[in-house]
Amino acid sequence: MRVCLRFLVLVPIFLLFLLAAGCGEADPNGGHPKEEHRNAEHREEEVAAFLSDVPDNAEKESTDQEEYFIGSVNMGMNGEWFSEVMNGIWNAGQDLGVRVKMLDSAGSLETERENIRSLVEEGIDALVISPRDSTDSIENLQPAVDAKIPIITWNTSVNMDVTSFVCVDSEALGADTGDYLCEYMKTYGLTDVRLIIIDNRNYDVGIARCEGFRQSIKGMVDQKKIQVVAEADAETFEAGEALMKKLLKKHPEANAVWVWNQPTFLGTIEAIREAERDDMLILGTDMSMELAADMLGDDINLLAVTTQMPYNMGYKAVVTAVRALRGEDVDPAVFIPLATYKKEDAAMLHRYLEAHLDLVEWKGGQ
């Protein structure tokens, strides 16, 4: 039974972007212009609204005790999605009075191994990490295991016992968008949707969200109201753009597409925009500033995006690590809520743009 946790972010500001980074377990690139205008008081209010159960005063009690040293090994550190996670990790460290050092594995297992070894040698008290591979990262984590260092994984899992896994319900991440497509078809009486699915076959969390989407539309497929005309995998902006151009030529009858992650999503949209296919129904996972702006525009028909809350994920990973170091009980799995943004809800999209402007560019340090 899948858990659908729906969460509405209510906070304030605005803008858009350029090219965003992956989520799930992919690892592409992006960036965003920066605008500085928040004071500390405003930021505390935003954090309180943004993190439903984290930033109360009880969390900020470590300033008069021994400082902990948290090592963070990130699968990637480029683009909007990872920047949100990194800001969450860094801000949690600041709020809790702990030292944080982040290292980038850049999608490399070898670099991940060296990063973990380096942090363990530096004397970290806990490790927060998005493992590169559920199996191959096990050996990389052995130095932390040998040193009896608490390990908090986030976003991506590893096939071994860890202190806690900060995650989302990946099946729900895909299924919630599929549910919306089915609702949309019923509302507007659509009975002939010819769908392209751009999926993932390399990562457990990616496979899970694709399976969740497929299961959610199964009823409409069985009724022949949805016909899946093509399925293919891609992980990056460039691959998504090239694949979609190819599929649009091969399947001109296609009138809808679902995409599994943010960078591929952005590349797919670029191909649709270039083909001037404003009739195409577009849905997928992993929100970004650019996708929010696209949903508010009229040149493409981007209907809905179900998303994780990457800032919350990074913040909760550090909070969980500190709780473990204090000897508190921590849950083996800490779930981060999901949200579905819809073209029809412009107010919610504006709130997203407002709430994320300060989060989508990395502004921390080491």
- Tell whether 65 is covered by a domain: yes
Instruction: Tell me if 9 is assigned to some domain.
Output: no
Query: Which CATH number is 269's domain given?
Result: 3.40.50.2300
pLDDT grade for 158, boundaries at 50, 70 and 90 = very high
| Amino acid making up residue 94 | Q
119 & 209 share domain: no
> Does residue 101 share a domain with residue 216?
no
Tell me: do 114 and 208 sit in the same domain.
no
Token look-up 């500001």 returns 13
Beta bridge partners of 305: 284, 341
Res. 77 pLDDT band, cuts 50 70 90? confident
* pTM, entire model: 0.72
Q: Is the pLDDT of residue 24 over 70?
A: no
**Inter-axis angle of helices 310-325 and 80-96, to 10 degrees?**
30
What confidence tens digit (pLDDT) does each residue in 209-260 have?
999 999 999 999 999 999 999 999 999 999 999 999 999 999 999 999 999 9
Residue 2 maps to a domain? no
Question: Is there a domain that residue 236 lies in?
Answer: yes
- pLDDT, average across residues 28-43: 30
Is 320 inside any structural domain?
Answer: yes
pLDDT digits (tens, 9 = 90+) for 161-183: 999 999 999 999 999 999 999 99
The answer to the question of residue 186 being in a domain is: yes
The token pair at 362 is 């990395």
CA angle 210, 6, 313 (to 5 degrees): 75
- Taking alpha carbons only, the member of 200, 208, 268 closest to residue 235 is 200
For the segment 133-162, the average pLDDT, to the nearest whole number, is 95
Is the domain of 287 the same as that of 233?
yes
pLDDT for position 362: 64
Average pLDDT, the chain: 83
Backbone angles phi, psi at 126, to 5 degrees: -150, 155
356 pLDDT band, cuts 50/70/90, is confident
Instruction: Tell me the residue range of the domain where 108 lies.
Output: 40-168+308-340
Token readout for 44 is 């505390």
For residues 49 and 93, membership in a common domain is answered with yes
> What's the number of domains the chain is made of?
2
pLDDT value of residue 17: 28
Does residue 37 have a pLDDT over 90? no
Angle in degrees, 0-180, between the axes of helices 237-250 and 262-274, rounded to the nearest 10: 40
What mean pLDDT comes out for the span 133-145? 95
Do 314 and 292 share a structural domain? no
Q: How confident is the model at residue 363 (pLDDT cuts 50, 70, 90)?
A: low
